[in-house]
Structure 1
């Protein structure tokens, strides 16, 4: 097992989508647009802009078309703007806006799959196959995310063989990258490594990303464990925004500021300006009327004020 950490890590900023999707109050399109522009200004090169799901299921994402139209004039060639698509209908609505990448999502837990998207794991993959094929035909990247990769609110611990199976199926239908997600934040470093190693039987480490929630305060430890395996891309959310609407009690994604601070402190580049990132997190936290959930952001702000 090599501890030669990657020299550079790509941050996938998920706050505009995963961070805001289960806010109770509607976040205006202009506020989401400002958040995306702040993140890009801070050096973020890859972000999840929105989700083309039914507004009946995720009302916060009901302005997906409006948001994509709003950000279009300022879109940059060097930034990857991703959208989540659950099915062909979502894909058809998304394609008008020329996303750089579509994200499809399966689960390593059969029960979670049923409760989250009302179908089995196999059915969900079959539903995504035409989406992946259509995206590839148009030259759009396809990323598959596997939720509940280490633990599930209904089934408890998830066997790594489940992660291996879903990775294999997603790669077969055309996913070029695979995200391993600890959706409810119950993972610890060895469990996360085992989930990642299971995925690596079917995909190269350079095509794998980690998505770790901080419910039990383990996200940074889990990020470090993934780095030790050579993983060099992570989903994070500025100010620690977001949870999972279908995983009861699952609080916040890991804060981008905390991950960037750790990486920079390890001599790993991200291309992100931490000071500007803190400003982005502050602005959206102020709008939402909530405390910034990033320890690093709070430390930097306190230092500034003193």
Structure 2
């Protein structure tokens, strides 16, 4: 079981700028919890995501001396990937590849065909630099634009990624559109068809829908889950104020109920939850 904590996703759409020292202190606390991976920041245009313009400064302040947690940074293009790959502390580069043509244009100003070409170049870069590329299939459970979606579409995208040697693919519920009926078939079919790939679930939920979504993905074989403490955040390019990230505390609760060890330091997690409430207070 791998839990990926995503403070980057929680912060990126936040209107008020969170001071660099506040971000750094919060992330250092999250590093003490024992998550598999920390999605800590992004190397994208500060005009697109002004909240994360200080990612390099935050990274410089992180204490990685005693943590087993690996760092992941989101990139939107090859230039961002080259920047991120220059930091030895960063293990994973994450790229959002939409299965919706409309959203790919909105999110990265590229067509799907152009994005796939860039993914190939990013994968070469990662292999050269000793990094791993994580591809998020955004709008992975449907989209509001009428673009084609079904498990076969996800399979087509995954075949292309598998051919490039990409080892981690996260199905991403960008707008909270998923239901158990749309979650179970893709995970069951993809995990059987592509045993070399580790499939993750990046689910956005309402407070009422989290359990059925986690249960569906878990029952279908998913063992990699993204979350954010407090369920804060989501995609600013496809915002719905009622739909946030999967709350990490709910993921932990579900796994405890299933008797699945999380390996987390629970007192450190409790302190991180307290800090999260302070970081995002008043919003």
Q: Report if TM-score (shorter chain) is over 0.5.
A: yes
Segment of structure 1 superposing worse, 216-225 or 133-142: 216-225
SS in structure 2 at match of 1:74: coil
| 2:70 counterpart residue number | 80
| 1:288 counterpart residue number | 280
Within a 5 Å distance, the mapping from 1:126-275 to structure 2 comes to: 126-155=117-146, 158-200=149-191, 202-204=193-195, 207-215=198-206, 217-249=208-240, 251-275=243-267
State whether structure 2 residue 3 is matched by structure 1 residue 11.
yes
Distance 1:272 1:177 in 2: 22
TM-score (structure 1 length as normaliser): 0.85
SS in structure 2 at match of 1:151: coil
Deviations 1:224-282 (A, max 9, x none): 11111221110000111111111131521011011101101210011113443232122
Q: Would you say the 8 A contact 1:150–1:187 is kept in 2? A: yes
Deviations 1:142-190 (A, max 9, x none): 2111111112132278322221122222222332111011111121112
SS in structure 1 at match of 2:61: helix
1:278 to 256, 270, 273: 270
Q: Would you say the 8 A contact 1:146–1:180 is kept in 2? A: yes
Distance 1:216 1:247 in 2: 18
The two structures, once aligned, show a CA RMSD in angstroms of: 2.0
Distance 1:147 1:113 in 2: 9
Aligned length: 281
Distance 1:109 1:183 in 2: 11
SS in structure 2 at match of 1:35: helix
Q: Would you say the 8 A contact 1:184–1:215 is kept in 2? A: no
SS in structure 1 at match of 2:235: coil
Deviation at 1:288, TM superposition (A): 2.1
| 1:109 counterpart residue number | 100
TM-score (structure 2 length as normaliser): 0.92
Gaps of 5+ in 2: none
Change (3 A) 1:202 1:86: farther
Deviations 1:117-150 (A, max 9, x none): 1222221111121111111112111211111111
Distance 2:67 2:275 in 1: 25
